[in-house]
Structure 1
Amino acid sequence: MSSFQGKSVLVLGGSRGIGAAIVRRFAAEGAVVTFTYGQSGQAAHELAAATGSKAVMTDSADRDAVIAQVRASGPLNILVVNAGIGIFGDALDQDPDAIDRLFRINVHAPYHAAVEAARQMPEGGRIIVIGSVNGDRMPVAGMASYALSKSALQGLARGLARDFGPRGITINVVQPGPIDTDANPADGPMKDLMHSFMAIKRFGRPEEVAGMVAWLAGPEAGFVTGAMHTIDGAFGA
C-alpha cells in the first residue's frame, strides 16, 4: 500500500458513496484532504470529523465556484473529480435546463477543475476523474445524456494528458460499473437487470473504486496517463 503522507488532496464530490470512500482512503494514508459537497451537509461534516479532513460546500454546476475552490486549495498533489449526476428517462420528455445542468456538473466542472489545478500543481501531480462504464456501453434506454457526459471525459483525459505530460502530471478516468451506493443500492430494483450484463454477479464496493484511485495517484502509476480504467465486473465486456 502506497502512502500519501502530507500530500495535498482535493476531492470534488466527497460526502457520500464513492467520493466518501476516496476521502477515507487518502485520509487513512496520511494525506491532507479537502472535499466538496453540495446538498449532503450532515454527511459531509460527519465524514470530515471522522477522517480529519475538511468539508467545503461547493456547487459543481457553478463553473466559477469550482475554479475558485480549486484555486483556493493551493498547489495540489492530487485532484479527484467525483461529483456527478444522472437524469434518466425519455429524452423527448426531459427538461433542457436540467440536461444543461448535468453537462455543467459532469463535463464542464471536471474540465475547468483539471485545468485550474494544473496551474499550481507540482511536477508529478495526479488528476483522476470518476467516469462510468456507460461511457463505453449503454445497453438500456433513457440514459443518453448521462452516457454522453461520461464519454466526453474520455476525450478530456486524452487531450489534457498531452497538455500536462511534459510536467509529469497524469490524468486518468476511472470507469465504475454498478457500485453499491445510496444512488444505486445493491438490493435495489435494478439489481437483476445489472447482474444480467455482468460476469461477476454482484455490485462493486466503493472501497474497491477507491483502491483503483489510490493506485493511479501513487508512484507506481507515473507512466499511466490519458487512459480509461474500468472496474465493472465485466458489465461492459
Structure 2
Amino acid sequence: MSDLSGKAYLVVGASGALGSRIARLLIDRGAAVTVTGRDADALGRLGEAHAVTADLREPDAGRTVVEAARERHGRLDGVVIAAGVVAFGPFTDIDDDTVDDLVLVDFLAPLRVMRAALPALEPGGVILGISAVVAEKPLANMAVYSAVKAATAALFTAVRSEARRRKVRVVDVRPPHTETGLANRAIAGDPPRLPEGLDPDAVAGRIVEALLGDDTDLPSTAFS
C-alpha cells in the first residue's frame, strides 16, 4: 500500500478489534490518525494517534469527533466508521432499550458521522462504513440487528450518489462473521453457536485496501 504521509483519517470505533487494526495499518503507513471510542484505555494503546473519547449515542458526538479530527490535522481525507453493537434473541424478547441502543449505535451514529464528514472532507476523500453480512442475509434471533444493519447499508448506498457531487467516495463494507469478540459482548441475549470466523487481521487489511483503492461496495463475498 502507498505511503500516506500528509493524509489524515478519522477512525470511529477504534477501541474495537477491527477499528484498532485499521487505525494501526493507517498509522504504520504514515497517516495522521484521530481515533475515537468509549474506551479511553484502548484508544491510549494506539499511542501515535490523536485520541478523542466519545459516546456515539450522544446526538452531537458525530459532529464533535469530525471537528476534532479536522482541527487537529488541518484536513480530513477519510473517515472509517467501525463502531457497532449486537443483540441476540427472539424478536418478541428484544426490549425497547435494546432496540434504542441498536438504532443509536448502528444506524444513527453512522448517519450523524457521515452527515458531519461530507462537507469536511477534502475532494477525493472517502467515507467507509462497516455494516455486516446480515444486511445481505437477515437472520432469525437477530431480527432487529439485521434490520438496523440493512438500513445502514441502504443509507450508504443512497448517500453514495449524493457524495459524488462533492468528489467523495462512500464505501459500504459487509464482512462475514469475524473473530472480533463482538458476539461475546452482546448488549442482550446469548450468541448462537457460530462457525469459526475470519481472521480480523485479514479483514482489516482488506478493508484498508478498499479505503485506499477505488471500491464503493465490499460485499461479504469480497472476503472469501
Task: Find out whether 1:111 has 2:100 as its counterpart.
Answer: no
Q: Which residue of 2 aligns with 1:73?
A: 69
One-letter amino acid of the counterpart of residue 205, structure 1: D
- Partner residue in 1 for 2:187: none
Instruction: Show the 5 A alignment for 1:1-237.
Output: 1-38=1-38, 40-46=39-45, 48-49=46-47, 52-74=48-70, 75-139=75-139, 141-184=140-183, 193-195=193-195, 202-218=196-212, 220-221=213-214, 224-225=215-216, 227-230=217-220
Q: Structure 1: which amino acid aligns with 2:136?
A: D
Determine the C-alpha separation between the residues in 2 that align with 1:180 and 1:26: 21
Deviant stretches of 4+, over 6 Å: none
3-state DSSP of counterpart to 2:204: helix
Query: 1:233 Cα shift?
Result: 6.0
Please give the root-mean-square deviation of Cα atoms over the aligned residues, in Å. 2.1
The alignment's TM-score, normalised by the length of structure 1, stands at 0.83
Shift of residue 71, structure 1, vs aligned partner? 2.0
Q: 2 CA distance for matches of 1:231 and 1:15?
A: 26
Q: What secondary structure is seen at the aligned counterpart in 1 of 2:9?
A: strand
- Structure 1 counterpart of 2:202, which letter? E
- Structure 1 residues 82 and 95 mapped into 2: Cα distance closer, same or farther (>3 Å)? same
Partner amino acid, structure 1, of 2:125: G
List per-residue Cα deviations over 1:126-163 (Å, max 9, x = no partner). 10001100111134x21111101111122112111111
1:29 and 1:2 map into 2 onto residues whose CA distance is: 7
Q: Distance in 1 between matches of 2:222 and 2:178?
A: 8
Amino acid corresponding to residue 213 of structure 1 in structure 2: I
Where does residue 198 of structure 1 map in the other structure?
none
Distance 1:146 1:134, change over 3 A: same
User: Residues 59 and 66 of structure 1 are in contact (CA less than 8 Å); yes or no, is this contact kept in structure 2?
Assistant: no
- Pair 232,126 (structure 1): closer, same or farther in 2 beyond 3 Å: closer
Counterpart-to-counterpart distance in 2, 1:64 and 1:2:
34
Q: What's the secondary structure of 2:127's corresponding residue?
A: strand
Please give the alpha-carbon distance, in whole angstroms, between the structure 2 residues aligned to 1:131 and 1:171. 13
